[in-house]
Structure 1
């Protein structure tokens, strides 16, 4: 890329040097000393013919310089810079001057002087424009370098931010997992009542008056403290939900049919929790009963009991 940029810069500079060289030749030729006139007259050439021939040569030299100058403008315009429109206007002026010179027959010395002056102005204008283009390219190069540097800094900053965000998400996920409560020691027992009111465990369906379920909420120092609610689901042999048989929705397309609710005041330490399912006039039948323990819609554990 750098090599191509250098070649692109050398080409218009070489054209400018060539244009300036031609211009100098024209000026030197147009300012030949009067001694050349005297010499021509002495050799038998009329003074009038000499001046006419000289003026024709000067006219041709100016035209040749304009052709070379136009080519230089063509190359400069191909650079497609912010000054392209101005360069195109200057090239148009050169083309118009060429047409005028081509249409001029036997121009006078005054006309040639005007042509030379316009040629000089056009060359000077091109020199100024090329210098300005060079300056603009230098500024653009510096600006691109600065932008690239800023992009590198921004990329590094974005990479750092992404890393921090990823770490934060991992930390949040870790804290979320760590803050979840865990339950253990799931039990279910059948109870019968003595005449004295005392309750004893039993395995006989006909004697069972209630099912007592229990579990332990394990201690967790980072878990939210306060009242915690758990849902107990008791299923009989036909997978019928006993007890309240109520439906609760959790707002995330999740729902649960539960038998009863138990709650506890959790303060970060392990706590025993239990709940009771009474027969309520519906005696327990023989068979196996399954108990599921839920923290909202998430099942935390299971237990079962078989009544004879």
Structure 2
């Protein structure tokens, strides 16, 4: 009986030990499993965090490149000698943006390369901006110099125009001053006596010649020497009497004259005359006096 009771206690003891051992095993296994899960979760979280960080870096670089591209757009609008180079570098920025956008989950090494390229592009733009400012400053100075030169040239031209105008006026004044003037225009009809003496008449039947008389006024600045004048005599039908010759002076100027009168002009007034021999009828005759093609005066006579 005692032996049986002892065996029962042994069985109970082993049963309790088994239960505690099993619980401890389950507890240990559960703890290890939990630790493994936590480790896996940490690794996954770390991996996700790394991916998110790289994506954020990728976005930041793209944003910086967009800002850089906008800066290039502004620089190109300056339209300087560097515009072609700036357009090429802007194209490089756009190409890098396309490469980054096409990259899926770029590695840290790729991100580093992208950042280095961005840094180089920023440095290049900064250098170009400095050069653009220098060019603009040079252009401004050049424009200022050109404006100054234009002012000088304008003033010089104005001065030259004034001098030319004065010279032309002086030449015109001298030309006008050097012209000869005629005065005292008169025409008389002459008859001849048997003795050869010439007397003035008003009768057409007695008139043998017309005498055209005028004075060449004195002029100290006029050219001296032989001077020629043309006399034109017109009858009642407006016919040119006498030589009736045509002389051309150029510039489509011409004159039909009756006879020529010449004199040796030496700066002082001189009275000259010319004679027209013809048959004269009753009526009025008109006489015009010319210095080349320019009419200087006129006179008339009526024969009865």
Q: Same fold (TM over 0.5)?
A: yes
Q: In the alignment, what sits opposite 2:286? A: 290
Partner of residue 137, structure 2: 138
Q: 1:102 to 1:287 in 2, by over 3 A?
A: closer
Deviation at 1:131, TM superposition (A): 1.0
Q: Which residue pairs with 2:269 in the alignment?
A: 270
In the superposition, relative to structure 1, how do residues 54 and 302 fare at CA in structure 2: closer, same or farther (>3 Å)?
closer
* Match runs of 1:225-264 below 5 Å: 225-264=224-263
**Corresponding residue for residue 79 of structure 2:** 80
1:47-74 Cα shifts (integer Å, max 9, x gaps): 9535444333333322322222222222
TM-superposed deviation, 1:120: 0.7
Sort the Cα spacing of 1:116 and 1:240 in 2 relative to 1 into closer, same or farther, 3 A.
closer
> In 2, Cα distance between the equivalents of 1:190 and 1:245?
20
Question: Residue deviations 1:197-226, cap 9 Å, x none?
Answer: 222222333332222221110011121222
Partner Cα separation in structure 2 for residue 239 and residue 98 of structure 1 = 100
| 1:141-290 → structure 2 map (5 Å cutoff) | 141-279=140-278, 282=279, 284-290=280-286
Query: Per the alignment, do residues 52 and 193 of structure 1 end up closer, same or farther by CA in structure 2, a change over 3 Å counting?
Result: closer
**Cα distance change on mapping 1:214 and 1:54 into 2, 3 Å:** same
Q: Structure 2: which 5+ runs fail to align?
A: 1-40
Distance of aligned partners of 1:79 and 1:240 in 2 relative to their CA distance in 1, 3 Å threshold = closer
Measure, in 2, the Cα distance between the counterparts of 1:141 and 1:189: 82
Alpha-carbon displacement from aligned partner over 1:8-42 (angstroms, at most 9, x marks no partner)? xxxxxxxxxxxxxxxxxxxxxxxxxxxxxxxxxxx
Q: CA deviation at 1:165?
A: 1.8
Are 2:304 and 1:299 aligned? no
Please state how far the C-alpha of 1:90 moved relative to its aligned partner: 1.6
Residue 197 of structure 1 aligns to a residue whose secondary structure is coil
Gap change, CA 1:110 and 1:186, over 3 Å in 2: same
CA distance in 2, matches of 1:267, 1:206: 40
Classify the secondary structure of the residue corresponding to 2:239.
coil
SS of 2:175's partner is: helix
Q: CA deviation at 1:300?
A: 1.3
For 1:101-140, list aligned pairs within 5 A: 101-140=100-139
Partners of 1:307 and 1:100 in 2: CA distance: 117
Shift of the alpha carbon at 1:117? 1.0
Q: CA deviation at 1:248?
A: 2.1
- Name the CA shift for 1:291/1:105 in 2 (closer, same or farther; >3 Å): closer
Q: 1:126 to 1:272 in 2, by over 3 A?
A: same
Task: Give the alignment's TM-score, normalised by structure 1.
Answer: 0.77
